[in-house]
Amino acid sequence: MKGLMVLLDVAAAHLLMRVRQTVVAVAGVGVGVGFFLAVSGMMIGSQNDFIKTLIDSAPHIVASDEQRSAARQPALDAFPQAAVTVRGVRPQDEVRGLKDWPALLADARAIPGAVAAPTLVGAVAVRFAGRTEAVSLNGIDPRIEGKLAKIEESLIGGRLIDLEARPDGIIVTRPMADRLGAHVGDTLVVSSSAGTLQRMRIVALVDPDARAGFYAGDIAGYGLLRTAQVLFARPNVVNQIHVRLPNPQTAERDAARLEARWGYKWVSWEERSRDILNLLVVRDVIMYAVISAILVVASFGIYTAVSNSVADKRRDIAILRAMGFTERDVQVIFLAEGLAVGLIGVLVGFGLGTLLLEALSHAPLTMGGKPLVLPLDRGLRQYAVAGGASLVAALIAAWLPARKAASVDPVEILRGAA
Amino acid sequence: MTPLIEANRVSRTLADPEPFTLVCDASLSVAPGEMVAIVGPSGCGKSSLLYLLGLLDRPTSGSISIDGRVTEDLGEAERTHIRLERIGYVFQFHFLLPELTALANVALPMRRLARLTGDQIAERAAALLEKVGLGDGAGKRPERMSGGERQRVAIARALANDPAILLSDEPTGNLDSANTRMVIAEFQRLAHEEGRGVVCVTHDATVAAAADRRIHMLDGRIVAGD
Ligand SMILES: Nc1ncnc2c1ncn2[C@@H]1O[C@H](COP(=O)(O)OP(=O)(O)OP(=O)(O)O)[C@@H](O)[C@H]1O
Ligand SMILES: [Mg+2]
């Protein structure tokens, strides 16, 4: 653009003549952007880490032999035109379990890259040394279940595959073992509601840290699927299917599709964690509100700087206009001042933010005695958001004073001075 | 020959806060190569007339032509461009930009017009300063110059885009007699040798006497001319 450079030079001259005010305004933007990066880096980093844990610690989809709504009563179908109410329904003691489960399993496995495992879950009583505890026993296929989620990393004293070598093996959580006073290698007496009694030997314990998640529910226990079927006297019955997907983001869609096809309840990790995910949204809103407030405050600095510059330079504006500079030229000069402060501030802020994130990543934090590395998000996206938002804020902040500068009537100023 | 400036029954009134007439029914023309002085008592409307002639203000009635072109119907952008290209202003108080050196001040209108390259602009700015006797003051900021020096820089700047018209409002109001003589000589040279139209509002009898013509104003009206 012809003649633009001279406008930028005048703008730069104005800023350089008012070093202190310019520095303060730049610092305002810089601190705003720096803390934006540090705060959002921590918030988004911890959130991503949390969601990753949520996804990795459990199957992405769990199908169980439940329905989302009560079974339709035959009376309703028999008299479709009538107003029928059915009360006090007593269900037949149906044999619980997923009907046709090999077909369900095959369908889940038909999703490319997906892993699916059959499971039979039921309540058992566990006795050891005179103490009794209730355990929710999961009969699993250890080879497949190990690929489903990161349970293996949370095991102490043994491995999942040990169940295969010992069909009478059982895995309970460490707190459960502590309550029973049992250790790895001890034999528990396990009884089911079917009246079956079986001795089972502890082959490993689940350490209930964050990663274990789904598998470390207080009363969870694990054994072989075959063993569980015998214990519950339900040969060849399965009441849950656990699915892991190559891309967890498709869980919700895949679950809905499978549910529509097969009935039963297919729960995705998102549905299971809806409350927590909603909380994260609230957290996001709070974060962005705080960050916007920081940026607004920073743009006040720019507004003040440009406003003062305009007030100071009314004589100069008049002479520029008399010389043949247009209203738009004048406006561009002051917009450029605001934008320059914003731009330098953003660069300072990028430096500051990067330093803060670097410092945070080396912060000597511990959690429960173990060193804790803060999960930080250092994505370019955050830099782009912070930079973009600041520049827009700078433009808006400079806009009003620049408009005012453009509307200065040179004659009025010249009369007053001459 | 088309006059550079032609004012035809120009009036300028104010509505606020109460009706007031700054300039009433003024007609005049300025030809190339002449220096015209506008004289009259304080408050008679000399500056107001000059702002109208220089397209900084719009008349409430009457018409003003620059280079034979009627200006009333032009938009602000076009009027501003005429100022940039055809008109140079010199005021009583020099009105230099305090942040810029003498050279940068003189270069401003040329850079805005952007018809010359950066090197050509710097060269011409230096030459203009040389002409007003400030060859070695090019790098100085206004705050380190005397009133006379600043006024000479302002004249150099007014001539930057080689305007046909030079308008000045009390250019010698703040100067001693030596500087006043220098400005008079320069204005005469600009009119007589370079063929520009020079209009000079002044209280100074020497300046008025040096002009080719004098226009006398009283209460917003042109009352006599010679
Ligand atoms: N905004 C305004 N509102 C009211 N009156 C004004 C305004 N501006 C100027 N005037 C009046 O208009 C008249 C003409 O002003 P102008 O500046 O043109 O006079 P002048 O001849 O240049 O005077 P001087 O020789 O003192 O510079 C003066 O009486 C002045 O007080
Ligand atoms: Mg005046």
- What is the β-pairing status of strands A131-140 and A220-224? parallel
Q: Which of left, alpha, beta for B49 (phi over 0: left; psi -120 to 50: alpha)?
A: alpha
Tokens at B54, concatenated: 């220089």
* A2, A13, A418: residue with CB nearest B99: A13
- The answer on A216 and A128 residing in a single domain is yes
Note whether B116 contacts A: Cβ–Cβ < 8 A: no
List, for residues B11-39, the tens digit of each pLDDT value: 999 887 888 999 999 999 999 999 999 99
Task: Check: CB of residue B36 under 8 Å from CB of residue B212.
Answer: yes
Q: What is the pLDDT of residue A150?
A: 74
Residue B201, domain CATH: 3.40.50.300
Q: How far apart are CA A167 and CA A162, in angstroms?
A: 9
Residue A18 within a domain: yes
Closest Cα in chain A to B157: A323
Backbone phi, then psi, for A368, in 5-degree steps? 60, 35
Backbone phi, then psi, for A310, in 5-degree steps? -65, -45
pLDDT category of residue A209 using cuts at 50, 70 and 90 = low
Q: Give chain B positions within 8 Å (CB) of A10.
A: 97, 99-100, 108
**Which ligand 1 atom lies nearest to the CA of residue B170?**
27
Contact A13 B100 (CB under 8 A): yes
List the one residue out of B95, B91, B89, B96 whose CA is nearest residue B141.
B96
Structural domain including A291 reads 4-55+277-417
Please report how many Cα atoms fall inside a 13 Å half-sphere around the Cα of residue A271, on the Cβ side.
16
Tokens at B92, concatenated: 């009583």
List, for residues B54-85, the tens digit of each pLDDT value: 999 999 999 999 998 899 899 989 999 999 99
Query: What integer best gives the mean pLDDT of chain A?
Result: 86
Note whether A10 contacts B: Cβ–Cβ < 8 A: yes
Task: Check: CB of residue B171 under 8 Å from CB of residue B183.
Answer: yes
How many domains, in total, are found in chain B?
1
Task: Check: CB of residue A313 under 8 Å from CB of residue A14.
Answer: yes
- What is the β-pairing status of strands A370-372 and B61-66? unpaired
CA-based R_g, chain B, Å: 17
Q: How far apart are CA A238 and CA A302, in angstroms?
A: 67
148-167 of B, contacting A, C-beta below 8 A: 157, 161
* A95 pLDDT above the threshold of 50: no
Q: How far apart are CA A310 and CA A408, in angstroms?
A: 10
Q: How far apart are CA B204 and CA A103, in angstroms?
A: 110
CA B212 to chain centre: 16
Residue A75 within a domain: no
How many CB pairs lie under 8 A apart between chains A and B?
86
- Which of the listed residues A196, A224, A244 is the one where a domain comes to its end? A244
Structural domain including B69 reads 5-225
List, for residues A26-48, the tens digit of each pLDDT value: 999 999 999 889 988 888 888 88
Q: What is the pLDDT of residue A418?
A: 46
Q: Rounded to 5 degrees, what angle do the CA atoms B79, B84, B88 make?
A: 110
- Strand ranges for chain B from DSSP E: 5-14, 20-30, 35-39, 61-66, 69-70, 87-90, 165-169, 197-201, 213-218, 221-225
Listed range (A218-232, A279-293, B193-207) with the worst mean pLDDT: A279-293
Mean pLDDT in residue range A215-235: 86
How many domains, in total, are found in chain A?
2
- What is the β-pairing status of strands B213-218 and B35-39? parallel
* A17, A321, A415: residue with CB nearest B99: A17
pLDDT category of residue A160 using cuts at 50, 70 and 90 = confident
In sequence order, the 6+-apart residues with CB closer than 8 A to the CB of A284 are: A43, A47
Q: Give chain A positions within 8 Å (CB) of B54.
A: 322
Q: What is the Å distance from ligand 1's center to B69 Cα?
A: 28
List, for residues A70-81, the tens digit of each pLDDT value: 666 677 777 777
Q: Is B193 exposed, middle or buried (0-12, 13-18, 19+ CB in 10 A)?
A: exposed
Which range, A68-72, A208-212, A320-324, B222-226, is most confident?
A: A320-324
- The answer on A190 and A121 residing in a single domain is yes
* B223 pLDDT above the threshold of 60: yes
- The answer on A236 and A301 residing in a single domain is no
**DSSP code at position A357:** H
Q: What is the Å distance from ligand 1's center to B150 Cα?
A: 25
Q: How far apart are CA A295 and CA A342, in angstroms?
A: 11
* B57, B77, B98: residue with CB nearest A326: B77
Mean pLDDT in residue range A114-129: 90
Mean pLDDT in residue range A306-332: 92
- Sign for the CA dihedral angle at B27, B33, B39, B45 comes to positive
Contact A17 B98 (CB under 8 A): yes
Q: How far apart are CA B94 and CA B96, in angstroms?
A: 6
Q: How far apart are CA A202 and CA A171, in angstroms?
A: 6
Ligand (nearest to CA of A413): 1
Listed range (A93-97, A120-124, A321-325) with the worst mean pLDDT: A93-97
Tokens at B178, concatenated: 């030596």
Note whether A414 contacts B: Cβ–Cβ < 8 A: yes
pLDDT category of residue A91 using cuts at 50, 70 and 90 = low
Note whether B20 contacts A: Cβ–Cβ < 8 A: no
- The answer on A113 and A15 residing in a single domain is no
Task: Check: CB of residue B13 under 8 Å from CB of residue B19.
Answer: yes
- The answer on A239 and A286 residing in a single domain is no
Q: What is the pLDDT of residue B38?
A: 95
Q: Give chain B positions within 8 Å (CB) of A329.
A: 112
Which range, A56-70, A295-309, A358-372, B75-89, is most confident?
A: B75-89
Q: How far apart are CA A136 and CA B180, in angstroms?
A: 107
Q: How far apart are CA B189 and CA B170, in angstroms?
A: 18
| Look-up of token digits 């054994």 | A223
Q: How far apart are CA B45 and CA B59, in angstroms?
A: 13
* A100 pLDDT above the threshold of 90: no
List, for residues A8-26, the tens digit of each pLDDT value: 999 999 888 888 889 999 9
- CB-defined site of ligand 1, < 6 Å: A 415; B 14, 20, 22, 42-48
Q: Which of B57, B81, B95 to mutate to test the interface with A (most CBs of A within 10 A)?
A: B95
Q: What type of residue sits at position A63?
A: A
Task: Check: CB of residue A310 under 8 Å from CB of residue A331.
Answer: no
